A and B are shown apart, each in its own frame.
Chain A
């Protein structure tokens, strides 16, 4: 033991002596996933390495108030017919190896995504509506037919199948890929620290693949908006679990940590000024297989809609981690309509009446059902299991029915949903781009749940391509009214995440927005470039 101590002591002294005296500001932050494959957002989104997106500059992105801000693009414009968008890039942007960043790098990024098995390819069809996207991804058309063109070094032209008034907000996930490097190394460019080049506010210093942790440094070649105000950013996804993150935060090893429900009271008491809440733009809802009994009866679905006491659910079992959801859109999200949300009330009498109308007075004759939810980490992991049990008791109490609960791994749950292997699910959804079409698209023409409601589809299609915002807003409200009347879903809750941040952190990103929420790394580009440390 003595010998061991000596060895450890010697090593510690040696390490201390060889460490240069650093007067740099370093922020240690939790990451999201402990596994990651490519340091390239345009190769894989779901399996990307930690904060791959912070290395690159998107066309545009959102600030803390969710205002769209031009980044690589200086400006954009829409053609008369609404089908073509022209993005003008900022001159002078370069890759970290000194090569100029051009329109070609953005076009190449999407061309490769369309042909290379990009796991986020659906986004550019579903959200972007880029002309020819579907055909190219399915291999029935050549990549040259895509509605994408680099007109010159600084001009990108995007053509969509229908007018997409919100296309600029879709470009917040459009990052460039260094064509000159990929031409040489192929996709492997994004596997080694030495070959990764960046175009955004941060460079990659190191990457520990065993837990997907990275060290990013402030870029000295990035000339665009939102330059980093810190020198180094250490991101360790192992800190993402509040059980690991909070002890590290308390010991001074991390600058902020997410909190689980048990930790909230303690942290609030110790750091009353350090608590930050974030409304995740996400919704948990109940969905059905509309084609099979008993949920093929609209009365049954309406009964479920009125049988949930959301206020009680969020003030008791889900205290501090969720707020009631009356609409598929979360509050603060573009297009959120308080009148629609107000319709989702708890009305046991109405619920009972609908059950009786369906022929199941007091739940008599109603088959035993099983609600399926998927195993989740993060905020969903804290919310859904508890909520499922609450709903089980609530439905027994209000509707007189027996609902069992089954938890499935992600792949099995998706399989069940897609292939209608069960008739009732708890489904969580988090936004992908900031426009109402994102959430309404979930139920559009088959979508995630295999719903086909012609009136709904027609309204959503019309709203999606409408360029006047007020008209769109109205059309989406009408579409959601159909969802309510048909009982397509039961909106349940919107998650809230809570974090505690160190008082050494400053800058605009450390304070809440007008709605009282602080997005932290959910708005990575904004957050890490508007954060300072004393």
Chain B
């Protein structure tokens, strides 16, 4: 197990370096720089001064090594968009709303989805099964900005129960979290249903039934545990996907989170922030998959990857 984790950590580091190279050079190969989008261009002299201030007058490879050297020391530079703080400060500030939203969205949506999926699997072809399928299909096919709009329309505009958008007061969290929660809910409902059905048809369940175990024990102690593997596969990556902010949900509900920075850092050629965001996501996905693999092994000893002892 330990050597497995070590090997995976080495591959995480390699992925990290390769991704950083690709992102860095792709980012700089996009035409234009941070001072080129304005209608009336700054003069050459002014531009040169601005570029030199940001170290952009250096050759690319020098810029890359400088940046990565900083990264090794947890210094991700100063975002061009917000010169009064470091990238780390910006992320720790803007990430909080995204984390609250995404985290609560997954933590609420996933259990609900699992329950719904279980109910559907145990009552196959009943109304609850159809309801679960319908919800799951809608949740996965309707874009989140449409569901956001519908939530606003119904709960803010028609019923006037909740504010349409904004942040800062807890009642303003409810609609965006609901919009967020729909995705894990739908995904989990589908995965759980099919995994459970699959497990329920396995011979060992028949054996358990023959041994006279109660249906409840069979489901909760055996079927659920054996159905958990595909759920683990989706859980952590999904958590990261939502916890790093959704551009759409955050924009629709005016949440001052991280989502918008993914777009604005590319638009404004905010290189330090763009790099930091990409590296952060890469790192988190690597760790998430590593953790998933470890959890697999814990749930099911047969999947000790690489044939561990």
**Which residues from chain B contact A410 at a C-beta distance below 8 Å?**
32, 37
Question: In the complex, are the beta carbons of B171 and A121 less than 8 A apart?
Answer: no
Residues 26-39 of chain B: 1 if any A CB is under 8 Å from the residue's CB, otherwise 0? 00000111011111
User: A238 — nearest CB in chain B belongs to which residue?
Assistant: B254
**Which residues from chain B contact A253 at a C-beta distance below 8 Å?**
156, 163-166
CB within 8 Å of A: which of B123-170? 149, 152-153, 156-157, 160, 163-166, 169-170
CB distance from B40 to the nearest CB of A (A): 5
**Which residues from chain B contact A12 at a C-beta distance below 8 Å?**
169-171
CB within 8 Å of B: which of A106-143? 117-123, 126, 137-139
Question: In the complex, are the beta carbons of B43 and A412 less than 8 A apart?
Answer: no
CB within 8 Å of A: which of B165-189? 165-166, 169-171, 173-174
Q: How far is the CA of A47 from the CA of B268 in the complex (A)?
A: 10
Residues 251-270 of chain B: 1 if any A CB is under 8 Å from the residue's CB, otherwise 0? 11010110011001001110
Q: Which of B31, B46, B166 contacts A118 (CB 8 A)?
A: B46
Question: In the complex, are the beta carbons of B254 and A210 less than 8 A apart?
Answer: no
Given contacts A11-B170, A117-B46, whether A122 and B163 have CB atoms under 8 Å apart is no
Q: How far is the CA of A243 from the CA of B148 in the complex (A)?
A: 11
Q: How far is the CA of A192 from the CA of B85 in the complex (A)?
A: 10
Q: Which of B31, B35, B171 contacts A415 (CB 8 A)?
A: B31
Which of A117, A118, A137, A253 counts the most B-chain CB atoms under 10 A from its CB? A117
Q: How far is the CA of A117 from the CA of B48 in the complex (A)?
A: 9
CB distance from A26 to the nearest CB of B (A): 13
B307 at the A interface (CB under 8 A)? no
Given contacts A4-B108, A11-B170, A213-B256, whether A117 and B264 have CB atoms under 8 Å apart is no
CB distance from B79 to the nearest CB of A (A): 9
Query: In the complex, how many residues of chain B place their beta carbon closer than 8 angstroms to a beta carbon of chain A?
Result: 56
Residues 10-54 of chain B: 1 if any A CB is under 8 Å from the residue's CB, otherwise 0? 000000000000000000000111011111111111100110010
CB within 8 Å of B: which of A1-57? 1, 4, 8, 11-12, 15, 34-35, 37-38, 46-47
B81 at the A interface (CB under 8 A)? yes
A515 at the B interface (CB under 8 A)? no
Question: In the complex, are the beta carbons of A1 and B108 less than 8 A apart?
Answer: yes
B94 at the A interface (CB under 8 A)? yes
Q: Which of B31, B80, B260 contacts A34 (CB 8 A)?
A: B260
Q: How far is the CA of A33 from the CA of B287 in the complex (A)?
A: 35
Given contacts A123-B40, A211-B254, A409-B32, whether A247 and B152 have CB atoms under 8 Å apart is yes
CB within 8 Å of B: which of A283-339? none
**Which residues from chain A contact B251 at a C-beta distance below 8 Å?**
238, 241, 244
Q: Which of A15, A122, A241, A448 contacts B170 (CB 8 A)?
A: A15
**Which residues from chain B contact A139 at a C-beta distance below 8 Å?**
45
Q: How far is the CA of A250 from the CA of B152 in the complex (A)?
A: 10
A177 at the B interface (CB under 8 A)? no
Q: How far is the CA of A46 from the CA of B38 in the complex (A)?
A: 7
By size class, the interface of chain A is 35 or more
**Which residues from chain B contact A448 at a C-beta distance below 8 Å?**
39-40
Given contacts A8-B174, A12-B170, whether A37 and B41 have CB atoms under 8 Å apart is no
**Which residues from chain B contact A68 at a C-beta distance below 8 Å?**
none
Question: In the complex, are the beta carbons of A37 and B83 less than 8 A apart?
Answer: yes
User: A249 — nearest CB in chain B belongs to which residue?
Assistant: B164
B217 at the A interface (CB under 8 A)? no
B97 at the A interface (CB under 8 A)? yes
Question: In the complex, are the beta carbons of A35 and B31 less than 8 A apart?
Answer: no
**Which residues from chain B contact A411 at a C-beta distance below 8 Å?**
31-33, 36-37, 269
CB distance from B285 to the nearest CB of A (A): 23
Question: In the complex, are the beta carbons of B157 and A251 less than 8 A apart?
Answer: yes
Question: In the complex, are the beta carbons of B40 and A8 less than 8 A apart?
Answer: no
B300 at the A interface (CB under 8 A)? no
Question: In the complex, are the beta carbons of A247 and B45 less than 8 A apart?
Answer: no
Residues 223-257 of chain A: 1 if any B CB is under 8 Å from the residue's CB, otherwise 0? 00000000000001011010110011011110000
B63 at the A interface (CB under 8 A)? no
CB distance from A140 to the nearest CB of B (A): 8
Question: In the complex, are the beta carbons of A8 and B170 less than 8 A apart?
Answer: yes
Question: In the complex, are the beta carbons of B93 and A209 less than 8 A apart?
Answer: yes
User: B269 — nearest CB in chain A belongs to which residue?
Assistant: A411
**Which residues from chain A contact B84 at a C-beta distance below 8 Å?**
188, 191-192
B82 at the A interface (CB under 8 A)? yes
**Which residues from chain B contact A239 at a C-beta distance below 8 Å?**
254
Q: How far is the CA of A448 from the CA of B39 in the complex (A)?
A: 9
Question: In the complex, are the beta carbons of A415 and B32 less than 8 A apart?
Answer: yes
Question: In the complex, are the beta carbons of A121 and B157 less than 8 A apart?
Answer: no
Question: In the complex, are the beta carbons of A122 and B94 less than 8 A apart?
Answer: no
Question: In the complex, are the beta carbons of A117 and B50 less than 8 A apart?
Answer: yes
User: B81 — nearest CB in chain A belongs to which residue?
Assistant: A35
**Which residues from chain B contact A250 at a C-beta distance below 8 Å?**
156-157, 164
A414 at the B interface (CB under 8 A)? yes
CB distance from B41 to the nearest CB of A (A): 7
A208 at the B interface (CB under 8 A)? yes
A418 at the B interface (CB under 8 A)? yes
Question: In the complex, are the beta carbons of A414 and B83 less than 8 A apart?
Answer: no
Q: How far is the CA of A67 from the CA of B245 in the complex (A)?
A: 46
Given contacts A8-B171, A208-B256, A239-B254, whether A244 and B37 have CB atoms under 8 Å apart is no
Q: Which of A8, A137, A211, A236 contacts B260 (CB 8 A)?
A: A211
Question: In the complex, are the beta carbons of B38 and A119 less than 8 A apart?
Answer: yes
**Which residues from chain B contact A38 at a C-beta distance below 8 Å?**
83
CB distance from A387 to the nearest CB of B (A): 19
* Additional A-B contacts beyond A121-B46, A252-B160 (12; CB < 8 A): A12-B169, A12-B170, A34-B260, A191-B83, A209-B82, A209-B93, A211-B256, A236-B254, A243-B252, A250-B164, A251-B163, A448-B39
27 A-B residue contacts at CB 8 Å? A8-B170, A34-B260, A35-B260, A38-B83, A46-B37, A47-B81, A119-B46, A121-B43, A122-B40, A122-B41, A191-B84, A210-B93, A210-B97, A238-B251, A243-B252, A247-B156, A247-B157, A247-B165, A248-B254, A250-B164, A251-B163, A410-B37, A411-B33, A411-B37, A414-B37, A418-B41, A429-B39
Using a CB–CB cutoff of 8 Å, the interface residues on chain A facing chain B are 1, 4, 8, 11-12, 15, 34-35, 37-38, 46-47, 117-123, 126, 137-139, 188, 191-192, 208-211, 213, 236, 238-239, 241, 243-244, 247-248, 250-253, 409-412, 414-415, 418, 429, 448
